[in-house]
Structure 1
Amino acid sequence: MDTTASSGPTFRDATDSDVDALVALIESAYRGDSSRAGWTTEADILEGQRTDPQGVLTVIKSPDSRLVTVERDGAIVACCQLEHRGDHAYFGMFAVSPALQGAGLGKVIIAEAERHAREVWGAEEMHMTVISVREDLIAWYERRGYRRTGRMTPFPYGDEHFGIPQREDLQFELLVKSLM
């Protein structure tokens, strides 16, 4: 892909009309064969859906949350959720189009999310949860200053809204980064 002809990313809050495109983006980044084009795939550990239109719409409508849509040349290529939780912000629903993964776009998005949380909300920390067996993804976040806390939350086995687990050892680990 020739990125020289491409403009830089633009950031905006998602709207109701973005729901279908965002669901397709998130699913393509994490589930099924299309996700294998990128490195963030969860296809080997989870099958089924990653999210659905109602889940995306809930984030868009939440008063303490932003679903940031990232566009390049007029097309939605990435997204992330930012939720204001008092002295910290939560970062989630992060997806980059598999065709664009590995080119630095994710670094730009997370830096913008951290800037917003710090400068607009006054958040002192950014929190996120990552499936603990995703060592490559956790290492990527560690290179960006996040630290593992060892604080685990059980994976919601039996709730297919989160996918169909292909392993019995899934849990979420809290990662934290100071923004001050």
Structure 2
Amino acid sequence: MDNAAPALTFRDAHDGDVDALVALVESAYRGDASRAGWTTEADILQGQRTDPEGVLAVIKSPDSRLLTVERDGRVVACCQLEHRGTHAYFGMFAVSPALQGIGLGKAVIAEAERRVREAWGVTEMHMTVISVREELIAWYERRGYRRTGRMTPFPYGDERFGVPLRDDLRFELLVKELG
């Protein structure tokens, strides 16, 4: 009997993935289902994290790709990669709550970094993280990302980003040099 973990398949998302990707992102960040994992934002934000239009826009953008990860034919993780000149932007990162904590996120981010270096020749990966998400920021720091202290406001009043439960939310830029 083979005890090896099921193989992961990495590919760019297509239109037919939209519903599965929206469900994945929502399950990883919002509502009670997200509490099964450690990346939940349920205590700081309610409402949606993304929607079909937002996911489709990333898929269709000529400067972006939505890296989709399958295991046993099921979408289990994803991340947005956007080419922005000398750097790439990393966003919409989601791992199925049931599969968090087993190294899947590490594998996805490593593959994302490899792909942007090869495809676009970029020297840095940038991302923004809600600054109160200390545990998540620490996870990224262990992957080589550094806090910059550069903050941008949270879009209060724009429910496409969720309904804040706190009044101190803002985004911090994290950066990693890609070797």
| TM-score range normalised by the length of the shorter chain | over 0.9
Residue in 2 that maps onto 1:168: 167
Distance 1:100 1:77 in 2: 8
Which amino acid in structure 2 is aligned with residue 76 of structure 1? V
1:116 aligns with 2:115: yes
Q: Secondary structure at the match of 2:120?
A: coil
Deviations 1:99-122 (A, max 9, x none): 000000000000000001112210
After the TM superposition, list the runs of 4 or more consecutive aligned residues in structure 1 that deviate by more than 3 angstroms.
Answer: 3-6
Count matched residues: 178
CA spacing shift, 1:28–1:4, aligned 2, 3 Å = farther
Q: Is the 8 A contact 1:20 1:53 kept in 2?
A: yes
Counterpart residue number, 1:49: 48
RMSD of the alignment, in Å? 1.1
Q: In structure 1, what is the Cα distance between the partners aligned to 2:155 and 2:57?
A: 19
- Give the 5 Å matches for 1:75-154: 75-154=74-153
Q: TM-score, normalised by structure 2?
A: 0.97
In structure 1, distance between residues paired with 2:97 and 2:3:
19
Deviation at 1:4, TM superposition (A): 3.6
Measured after TM superposition, the shift of residue 7 of structure 1 is 1.8
Aligned to 1:14: 13
Tell me which residue corresponds to 1:26. Answer: 25
CA contact (8 A) 1:6 1:73 kept: no
Q: Distance in 2 between matches of 1:134 and 1:7?
A: 31
The one-letter amino acid of 1:78's match is A
SS state at 2:35 partner: helix
Identity of matched residues, % = 81
